[in-house]
Structure 1
């Protein structure tokens, strides 16, 4: 995970990444549309207007999907919210 600017410059980076478990497959896409966009093999990008929705989903994320990555994602979301032309990137393998 990283926060990037318009030109792709990295503003901040997480130490880890999403810990993919079978529990992610059980998330209801209607209840978790932002997290449902994550793909272990592809990239997902969230803009400043989408970050509050992502944060709300992180608040109700089942424990089975949690881990250190959740706190790191929250910190990166705050960096996106505090600036302009910043995007949160989840980078797949």
Structure 2
């Protein structure tokens, strides 16, 4: 079966969008759950500080969706638990 060029372009665009959303969630969790400053997250992800700030706003806005909010909450709890059990985060 021959795939049309427009379908391949759409698949690449969808993949990029998915990767962008994953990166935004990761940046958000680093900032909110781990309380890492935006400039440190930016350096770690090879992005600008304002890009990290934008990512945090995008994720925060998407948390109005209950399913997305629950997903992010689970990621936050998991990350916090892992970092706390490894002694990286202090007990709150």
Normalised by the length of structure 1, the TM-score is 0.30
Asked which structure has the greater RCO (Cα within 8 Å, sep 6+), the reply is 1
**Which structure features the higher share of strand residues?**
1
Select the structure of larger CA radius of gyration: 2
**Which structure features the higher share of helix residues?**
2
